[in-house]
Homo-oligomer: A and B are copies of this chain.
Amino acid sequence: MNRKTPVKRVRAKQRRLSADDRRSEFVTKATEFFAEEGFGGGTRALARKLGVTQPLLYRYFPSKDDLIKEVYRKVYLEPLEIGWEKLLSDRSRPLRARLQEFYEIYTDAIFNRKWLRIYLYSGLKGLDINRWYVGMVKDKILTRILRECRHDAGLATQSRPSAAELELAWVFHGGIFYYGVRKYIYEAPVLKDKAQMISDALDIFLAGFERMAESATDRRRAPVKVVG
């Protein structure tokens, strides 16, 4: 911004940061704060963490709710910067390798205490942005994965995935997601090697999909149902 200061740059300014920098710094720290304390955490405690006084927050954000909304925006948009669309759909590479790489990168982005906690808090509040995210996972990740699986199995890729297919993908996706919850929310011991967990989960998902595809090809029936 308006940063001239031709000379005398010697002493860095200790406070008085530019408004934009200050704002984004506040949002970043507020994200960590609310991740730990929940959104019931007080503005005074937050200000203490920021090293400023509480009323100063209200110079940058009209209300606590507005600050919280910015926290959501930041957190929810973070993992979207990966650009997974191309990664998943790049048919010059084997499907399994694409899926393995995608889930390694995706979980690198969301498997941390901060992201998972804010995600769960907002999910419990039933916020629109949470519903939006879940819908996006369905449309941009699971549907895409299923289309690639169908292509790989030599099936038609036009039609939308069946409800049973989608559920299979959700259970697979949720199983991986729950690894992060166990590790960072429950703080329970998990298999150290995240990549191997993904690999094993992929094994059984792909095997399951093939099986479902076969039984759907042989005759037009619902997937195997062998309840005793």
Copies in the complex: 2
Q: Residues of B contacting A227 with CB < 8 Å?
A: 96-97, 100, 195, 199
Cβ of A79 within 8 Å of any chain B Cβ, yes or no, is no
The answer for the CA separation of A171 and B199 in the assembled complex, in Å, is 12
By DSSP majority rule, is chain A's interface helix, strand, loop, or mixed? helix
User: B208 to A204, Cβ gap below 8 A?
Assistant: yes
1/0 contact string of A189-228 vs chain B (CB within 8 Å): 0111001110111011101100110000000001111111
Q: Residues of B contacting A121 with CB < 8 Å?
A: 124
The answer for the CA separation of A222 and B211 in the assembled complex, in Å, is 24
User: A134 to B207, Cβ gap below 8 A?
Assistant: no
Cβ of A20 within 8 Å of any chain B Cβ, yes or no, is no
User: B179 to A178, Cβ gap below 8 A?
Assistant: no
Q: Which of A94-115 contact B (CB under 8 A)?
A: 94, 96-97, 100
Q: Residues of B contacting A126 with CB < 8 Å?
A: 187
User: B117 to A182, Cβ gap below 8 A?
Assistant: no
The answer for the CA separation of A117 and B164 in the assembled complex, in Å, is 26
The answer for the CA separation of A171 and B196 in the assembled complex, in Å, is 12
Which 7 residue pairs across A and B have the least CB separation, nearest first? A174-B178, A97-B228, A204-B208, A175-B175, A171-B175, A167-B191, A94-B228
